[in-house]
Amino acid sequence: MRHKLHRYIIFCSVVLCVTLCSVSAFAQEDTYLKVDAFGSLERPVSMFDHDAHNEKAMIEDCAECHHVYENGKLVEGESSEDRGCADCHTLKAQGNQPGLRMAYHKQCKSCHVEKKKGPVACGECHVKR
C-alpha cells in the first residue's frame, strides 16, 4: 500500500514538472524577438514582449514601428504590420533604408533615448538566458 502511494506521488510530480516547463517555454517565446534573417547570431536574442511592451510604453499607432514609405516619404495612416522588418530591410543598407540590424537598433534605441525610458545598453536587450 505504501509502495503504491509512493509511485503515485512520483507520477504526480513528473506531470506537474512537465506542465510547468512547457508553460514557461511558451511564455519565453513571446518575450524574445528571434529574427531568422540574421542566420547564426552573435548575441542572445533581444527581449521584446510585443503587446506588453506597447501597452506599457503607451504606443497606440502601429505605424510608429510598422511604417510605410513611398519615394522616401513616410505615408501617414498606412501600416506594414503584416510584414516583418526583414521583408524590406535587407542585411545591407540600400540608400536611405538602413540594414536590418541598424533598423532595429535605430528604431528601438532612439525612442528609448528620446523618452528617457527603456534599455539602451547592449546587455539590457540582449539578455543571456
Distance, CA of 58 to CA of 64 (rounded, Å): 12
72 binds ligand HEC per the rule CB under 6 A: yes
Residue 99 as a binder of ligand HEC (CB under 6 A): the answer is no
Binding mask 9-48 for ligand HEC (x = CB under 6 A): ------------------------x-x--x--xxx-xxxx
C-alpha 127/C-alpha 119 separation (Å) is 11
Q: Alpha carbon 47 to chain centroid distance?
A: 5
Rounded to whole angstroms, the Cα distance separating 126 from 1 reads: 52
Contact between 57 and ligand HEC by CB under 6 A: the answer reads yes
Q: Where are the beta strands (DSSP E) in the chain?
A: 32-33, 46-47, 69-70, 73-74
Instruction: Give the Cα separation of 75 and 41 in Å (integer).
Output: 33
Number of residues near ligand HEC (by CB under 6 A): 59
Q: Which of 23, 27, 62, 113 binds ligand HEC (CB under 6 A)?
A: 62
Interaction between residue 92 and ligand HEC (CB under 6 A): no
Which amino acid is present at 8? Y
* Chain positions contacting ligand HEC, by CB under 6 A: 33, 35, 38, 41-43, 45-50, 52-54, 56-57, 59, 62, 64-69, 72, 80-89, 96-98, 101, 103-109, 111-112, 115, 117-122, 124-126
